Structures are given as C-alpha cells and as structure tokens.
Amino acid sequence: QVQLVESGGGLVQAGGSLRLSCAASGSIFSINAMGWYRQAPGKQRELVAVITSGGSTNYADSVKGRFTISRDNAKNTVNLQMNSLKAEETAVYYCNVRAWTPVLFNGDYWGQGTQVTVSS
C-alpha cells in the first residue's frame, strides 16, 4: 500500500517558522492530491492546505498569506512552509494523500502525524 513519512515538526516560538515535509512511497500509480491537516486536542481535524496533481492549491482562511504548500513530483513529496506561527496553531499535523493504487482509484491515506508546538 501507501506509506507516508512526515518530518519537520517540533517546538517553535510564536512568530517563528517551520517547514513540514511528507514523502509518499509504495504501490502508487499516480497521486491525485497531497495536503496537510491538523488536529488540536478536543477539536476536529481541519484542512490546512492541499495541492492537486494539476498544481492548484487551497488553504484554510486562517493560514492564507502565511503558509505555502508545494510539491516535489520527482520525490513524491509535499512540503508546507509555515511562517508567523501562532500559539493556537499548536496541533498534530497530518499528511494526507489521495492516490490511484492497485486497490483503489482514489484511495485516502494518512501519515502518523507530527507534533507542532508553538509557544507563546
């Protein structure tokens, strides 16, 4: 199946920056979209940013102008540059991939999550 490896999470002070990365591997014919979601304790998981196979991007309103999502197609990697981080954005950030695989035309795959802690 699909394996997702996330990296880049950690501790940062408010106003600082982090760069998250997620690499997809496994039995993948093509990737339809890659994105990042986050979930804070006691809250629902929410979309942060997504990029499609055609390069279109979509961001949560709260992160527009501060976060940038990008892809490295050669490495099947999605990156999220997060600038001017706020304390309320402390959460577990999850990589999400929708891919055509031998068993699914549009399978939904998730990474294990990486903790981002923004201190005030």
Q: What is the pLDDT of residues 73-111, one digit of tens each?
A: 888 999 999 999 999 999 999 999 999 999 998 999 999
pLDDT at 21: 98
Residue of higher predicted confidence among 73 and 17: 17
8 A C-beta contact, residue 67 and residue 57:
no
pLDDT at 1: 83
Picking from 112, 83, 82, the residue whose alpha carbon sits closest to that of residue 96 is: 112
8 A C-beta contact, residue 58 and residue 49:
yes
pLDDT at 80: 98
Picking from 105, 108, 51, the residue whose alpha carbon sits closest to that of residue 76 is: 51
